[in-house]
Amino acid sequence: MTLPLIGILRGVSPDDVVAIADAVLTSGISQIEVPLNSPDPLESIRRLVDAFGDRAVIGAGTVLTPAQVRDVHAAGGQLIVSPNCRPAVIEETHRLGMASWPGIVTPSEAFDALDAGATGLKLFPAIQVGLEGMKAVRAVLPTGTLLYAVGGVGISNFAQWRAAGVDGAGLGSALYKPGQSASQVGKQAQALVDAWLAGEQ
């Protein structure tokens, strides 16, 4: 079973990324993004693909341009996550056969993203939209649309977000902060997975 969770390793360095990601994968989280505003992110992605490409979906976050999509693809990445909805980025991601998760807040952004070929939608920042706002967006989305909540979603409120209709979540600072050991990240990852599973209806 693939958990509908994306591990966000913002700020990770290439020297640390394999050990950190191994701890995350051990918890059951098998989708990992290295945001492009991390140190040497493409090298981190290359190392992750070499180490775990056969059992994880590896890619980049904070992807803002089609050129960056191509760079991630060249590094072996298969996942593109953005904080915003830019159809040109989604279309290039789709063209290259990669998974596309653009950030949306409004129904207009959601439908623009789906029209451009998005794999699923990243509600970001979820804490700003809130549960009621999310439910309003969810109500108008086509049946089967995947909606992941990112930003302010975690152990304390997974159950509420799941009950309200999100399909998954992106896990940022609750999962990893620069300087944390692989052991510490592994414990945080396991706690997040346990909380997510506990929220199943």
As annotated, the active-site residues are 33, 122
CA distance 33 to 21: 10
Q: Rounded CA gap, 58 and 82, in Å?
A: 14
CA distance 184 to 74: 31
The encoded tokens of residue 26 equal: 């051990």
Strand partners, 60: 34, 80
Q: Strand 57-61 relative to strand 103-104: parallel, antiparallel, unpaired?
A: unpaired
**C-alpha 70 chain-centroid distance:** 18
